[in-house]
Amino acid sequence: MLRNITFRNWKSFRESKLHFDQLTILIGTNASGKSNALDALEFLSRIANSTDIMTALAGDGVLAGIRGQDNWASYRNGKSFSLSVLIGTDDEKTDYQYSITVVINDGVAELSGEELSRIKYQGSNPRTLRLFWTDPPEPGAPGIIARLYNTKSGTKRPLRRNLSALSQLEIDPDIRSEIVEGIRFVARDLRQIFILDPKPNEMRDFTRLSENLKKDGSNIAGVLMALKPEDRNEIQNRLTKLAAKIPEKDISKVWAEYVGRHKADAMLYCSEAWTPGEEFEVDARGMSDGTLRFIAVIGALLLRPRRSLIVVEEIDNGLHPSRSLLLLDAINKLAKEREIDLLITTHNVALLDSLPPRLVRSISVATRTDDEGASIITSLDDIPLLARMIAEGEVGKLAKEGRIEQTIRMLPNG
């Protein structure tokens, strides 16, 4: 699973790093760089899925472009950017370091450099093995040379520059087993980055049956109905149990149901209990935005595969502040149970003030530097005065007053 991501000349970042825990809470004022950090994860997920580098940034007729597209992908409209991730394995003794550099010239984004290394920890001395790396490309050349580990100078492989080397080498049948293992491991974890942006209006219609949840949550009913009955019942029961805590009215059941005689479409339903012994069935068109967003978030945690990283912006959007901590507690428990990492953003002062001490250290703060306005991300664990600050006031209050940002700017790299 992802341990950290480093941004170099990516959008508003000159150079910074975001560390991941099981639950990572990213806060910051508007335009501080939070969304830009999430966009980097989306870009990496796309190129690992063999999406053309230019399309991964600018989009096409099917795929939406990343905010700013290629024009603002590089810091201050520069010509290149680099992203690097450290990915951990199950045995805790092996990590993989993957990095990619993209150059942008005349409106064309293409590969400029890429590398994958395996890191094995033996005592206090990690051993690093470069599995593949690329030579600097010739100016204007359509191709790039990758070198594959062979105990010498590296076996040469000519590759295209419009796709990541990771996705091209993954289908190469003639490479060493340790390289195959590293590529498959990293590609899998990057593909399983899931940026969830629930859109209640899209969830209110019926949808086709499908295997994979869309990133706007619109087809959750279709995904539920495509499951085996026993799996569907289990997930619907868990949705019901958790959803009952959220709205002001009692929700006694959440389920999906076929729409039409051909059983190719489905819709979301719930039963509301306003008075004891009396229930009223409502389809998705009558559900509140907050309830639908909650169902999408919990549904993603129940439906996504193990080792996924689920990212949700404004996790509590549409929820009453008194219900936000219930949602956070529910998703944190589910994430641990299903071995899923969560990255969420929030502006909710009440939610931050309600966090138990064990979760306060999961907070990272996006700010802008005073000298050039570059975005940086700082973990609260890296703030020496953290304990004193928390003793003086709740995290939400400190964030609202700007005192956390002020303290970060006093740090050597702030």
| Residues 242-279 pLDDT 10s | 887 765 557 888 999 999 889 999 999 998 876 666 77
Calculate Rg over the CA atoms of the chain. Answer: 23
Q: How far apart are CA 309 and CA 182, in angstroms?
A: 19
Return the minimum-mean-pLDDT range out of 24-33, 94-103, 213-222.
Answer: 24-33
Pick the residue with more confidence: 361 or 130? 130
Structure confidence at residue 301 (pLDDT): 94
Residue whose C-alpha is closest to residue 109's, from 163, 165, 44:
163
Q: How far apart are CA 237 and CA 211, in angstroms?
A: 20
The answer to whether residue 414 scores a pLDDT higher than 60 is: no
Pick the residue with more confidence: 62 or 397? 62
Q: Are 102 and 53 in contact (CB under 8 A)?
A: yes
Pick the residue with more confidence: 406 or 275? 406
By three-state DSSP, how is residue 327 classified?
Answer: helix
Q: How far apart are CA 358 and CA 368, in angstroms?
A: 27
263 burial via Cβ count (<10 Å: 0-12, 13-18, 19+): exposed
